[in-house]
Structure 1
Amino acid sequence: MDRSRLHDTVLAGVVAVASVALFVLYGPERLQAEGLPVHGMRPPDALGGLLVVLACAPIVVRRRWPLSALWAGLVPETLLSSLGYGTGTSSLSGMVLLYSVAAHRGLAISLVALVVSLVAYLTGAAAGPVGPVAWNQYVIVAVVLVAVWGAGRSLRLRRAYMEELKDRAARLERAHAADTRAARAEERSRIARELHDVVAHHVSVMTVQAAAARRVLATDPELAREALSAVEHTGRLAMTEMRNIVGVLRTDAQAELGPQPAVRDLPALVELMREAGLPVRLQVEGAEVALPAGVDLAAYRTVQEALTNSLRHAGAGAKATVTVRYEPGELDVRVEDDGVGDGVGAAAGEPRSEGHGLVGIRERVTLYGGILNIGPLPGGGFEVRARFPLKDGQ
């Protein structure tokens, strides 16, 4: 037996004892002594007591079958009135059962239960042996029945309100968890792009430098040694950046362990590309302004990916120009080369296309409301140009 059933069983016993006590104490002799006419009211006996107990018994199942329990309780009450025992002796059980219906069933069913209870009680009062002289008492009992029904409805509405609050809290928690997972997925996607940029750039530089060292190894060992040193230096840089990025994945942090590269770091990038064999010229036009961190990083990555693309595909003897122009309300970043696509790292005549790196750059630029143009130049060569809007005077 569960705890609620045990509680209802105890409640049924208490109500039965109280109802039997009222049935015995307020018999015809007691009512006559108080000056109330009895009009042939039957004295308490075993049959009447049994009916009172039967009227209280359905309280045991009042939570599981509240409406059926109410109907079962009304039958002994009706018999008590029709057999002349008077009304009101089992009204306690009727109140409990009516309260249970109102608290555990919907509005329509509870209204039907209220109406049936009132009709049954008032009919018994009108036909009972005590007669109309005690109508004031019956009216009071009817008002109490309505109040009990209202208390049950109030409890049901409060329970429904609390359930709604719990459900809303659960939905908010699920939504928060989904937002957290989405934010983590977005962050990891961004980190994946960062990792691709780092690996693609540094590995491309190392490949070109290693190829150059292989070609001059027999004829110019000193130049080959310098190229291999450059490969070592680039490899160390790549390992450092990848270690920082992977560290974010391991700790699930939202920020990198070290400062992000920015436009101010372009001179070092240009120098690294020169050492790799791609002559690069850097031009900065306009008055420099403080850039938002996201735009700053996106501009740097755009130049890095474009120069890597030029190093791999522009061909031998190609030169590149990086132009950073600060304009009112806009940052214009342009990378141009004069290559033909037939050098080291590209097959002869192979057209350059928008690979994974440039696709990632396009996503970066679009994320910050910018416009990216990628394609060959009319007079030969290739261009990557990104324009970022700057707000609030930036």
Structure 2
Amino acid sequence: MSPRIRGLRTCRAFLKARPQAADAALALALLVVGLPQLYLEELPRGLGRHYAETDPWHLLLVVAATMALAFRRTRPLAALLWISAGEVLITLASYPPTIPDLVAFMVAAYSVAAHRGLAVSALGGLVALVTMNVILVTFPEDLGLITVLTDNALLVGVWVLGRNLRLRRAYFAELEDRAARLERARGTDARAARVEERSRIARELHDVVAHHVSVMTVQAGAARRIMDRHPAGAREAMTTIEEVGRTALSEMRRIVGVLRTERDSEGVGAELAPQPGLGDLGELLDSVRETGLSVQLWIEGEARTPSPGVDVAAFRLIQEALTNTLKHAGPQARAWVRLHYTDEDLTVEIEDDGRGTATIIADNGDNPGHGLVGMYERVALYGGELRIGPRVGGGFGVRARFPLQA
């Protein structure tokens, strides 16, 4: 880059950062270009006799009116009023008009429209229009209607140009602000989605680990107790533990597979198998019965296909409730699972006749564990209702209602 271009860019950056200095430079440029007119250019014949000779007062008025452009962006209305007053004084003193003050007057009218609101810019436009017509009316010769209309139209056009520029700047500022708001909202939504996804994965992992580990624990305890007197039963229990462990690992790999990137997930299509639903309820109940817990299932109403999310949520709810029964209800407990279908919703009830609420809550003081919190979150996620508490006649009950299409 040449030194000249680099210097021009530095100068432009300096003036852009200091608008008042740029406006002052504009006013000085007008004076440098226009002041020689006062001394070098003669007025046309016939007009000279109507104007006074240029003197220091004339020069002072022209400089004062033109230099007011230095405030055209910071105080545009004040600058316009000052320049208009200078134009009226020049006219009343019979001094000839010059390029610097006339251009400064037009620029000031444009600036008040471009940098102020409608009320202030309308007031400035009215002041400029009155000043223009005062100058035209006091002109020493008859200008004619066409000239008067043309000059007024030029002033109005300059004002409209400034107004349109202001509206355009406001429009682009609104677009930039909207884009910034959308960017912030997108970031907020992304963070909320990450939090929700972490919660969902935590619920899935809890459901898988809690259920399968509970089954394995019960089976291992049974195998230990009957190992000496009933080896065949112990081997059967150990086989069940092996199968449940493999199922747990498979489900955990599937859940963790969701977190993989495309590159990491090559060749792991089996880990991304569909999530279990109510169609897998039979296998779940069979695995629970193998632990020794008696579980009965009732299906009422015409079975309907729920939405995929409700299907998974209902299955996980039953799985978590039966896991709690295994852990807390006691060795002689029984459990019942009931599915009630209507045209609009699905009601899921899981009850047992075990030791009830106390043992479920006892592990964490007065605060429910992750399993109960996960139940509430799952049901609420699909617009359902959940009730958890002691069962009439002893035991514990979970009742949830899901809309079929959530």
Q: Name the TM-score class by shorter chain.
A: 0.7 to 0.9
Match of residue 236, structure 1, among 226, 241, 246: 246
CA 1:203–1:140 in 2, change beyond 3 Å: closer, same or farther? same
Give the deviation of 1:269 after TM superposition.
Answer: 0.8
Give the deviation of 1:328 after TM superposition.
Answer: 4.0
Match of 1:248 in 2: 258
Match of 1:85 in 2: 95
Match of 1:311 in 2: 326
Match of residue 292, structure 1, among 307, 317, 320: 307
CA deviations over 1:339-385 (Å, ceiling 9, x no partner):
3569xx9899xxxx965423432442344344444444444444333
Match of residue 208, structure 1, among 197, 200, 218: 218
Between 1:162-171 and 1:297-306, the stretch displaced more is 162-171
Conserved 8 A contact 2:81-2:127: no
Identical columns (%): 49
Give the deviation of 1:151 after TM superposition.
Answer: 1.8
TM-score normalised to structure 2 length: 0.76
Match of 1:177 in 2: 187
Conserved 8 A contact 1:188-1:249: no
Conserved 8 A contact 1:213-1:224: yes
TM-score normalised to structure 1 length: 0.77
Match of 1:390 in 2: 404
| In structure 2, distance between residues paired with 1:389 and 1:204 | 30
Match of residue 115, structure 2, among 93, 104, 107: 104
Alignment of 1:281 with 2:296, yes or no, is: yes
| In structure 2, distance between residues paired with 1:347 and 1:184 | 30
Between 1:143-152 and 1:241-250, the stretch displaced more is 241-250
- Give the residue type in structure 1 aligned to 2:106: M
Please give the secondary structure, in 2, of the residue aligned with 1:331.
strand
Please give the secondary structure, in 1, of the residue aligned with 2:258.
helix
CA deviations over 1:196-219 (Å, ceiling 9, x no partner):
212221222222223223333454
CA 1:285–1:19 in 2, change beyond 3 Å: closer, same or farther? same
CA 1:118–1:46 in 2, change beyond 3 Å: closer, same or farther? same
Conserved 8 A contact 1:267-1:282: no
- Show the 5 A alignment for 1:109-120: 109-120=120-131
| In structure 2, distance between residues paired with 1:347 and 1:73 | 83
CA 1:50–1:268 in 2, change beyond 3 Å: closer, same or farther? same
Conserved 8 A contact 1:61-1:69: yes
CA deviations over 1:115-137 (Å, ceiling 9, x no partner):
4444445445555xx52534755
- Structure 2: give runs of 5+ residues left out of the alignment: 1-10, 263-270
Alignment of 1:154 with 2:175, yes or no, is: no
| In structure 1, distance between residues paired with 2:51 and 2:279 | 106
CA 1:123–1:388 in 2, change beyond 3 Å: closer, same or farther? closer
| In structure 1, distance between residues paired with 2:66 and 2:120 | 21
Between 1:85-94 and 1:278-287, the stretch displaced more is 278-287
Match of 1:194 in 2: 204
Between 1:354-363 and 1:12-21, the stretch displaced more is 12-21
CA deviations over 1:36-70 (Å, ceiling 9, x no partner):
45444245678756754554444455334434544
| In structure 1, distance between residues paired with 2:114 and 2:253 | 63
Match of residue 140, structure 2, among 131, 136, 142: 131
| In structure 1, distance between residues paired with 2:122 and 2:383 | 61
Conserved 8 A contact 2:356-2:396: no
Give the deviation of 1:226 after TM superposition.
Answer: 3.8
- Give the residue type in structure 2 aligned to 1:109: V
Please give the secondary structure, in 2, of the residue aligned with 1:133.
coil
Match of residue 178, structure 2, among 155, 164, 168: 168
CA 1:318–1:61 in 2, change beyond 3 Å: closer, same or farther? same
Between 1:377-386 and 1:42-51, the stretch displaced more is 42-51
CA 1:273–1:367 in 2, change beyond 3 Å: closer, same or farther? same
Between 1:91-100 and 1:163-172, the stretch displaced more is 163-172
Give the deviation of 1:14 after TM superposition.
Answer: 5.6
Match of 2:237 in 1: 227
Match of 1:258 in 2: 273
CA RMSD of aligned residues (A): 3.9
Match of 1:320 in 2: 335
- Show the 5 A alignment for 1:341-356: 355-356=369-370
- Give the residue type in structure 2 aligned to 1:113: G
- Structure 1: give runs of 5+ residues left out of the alignment: none
Matched residues, number: 377
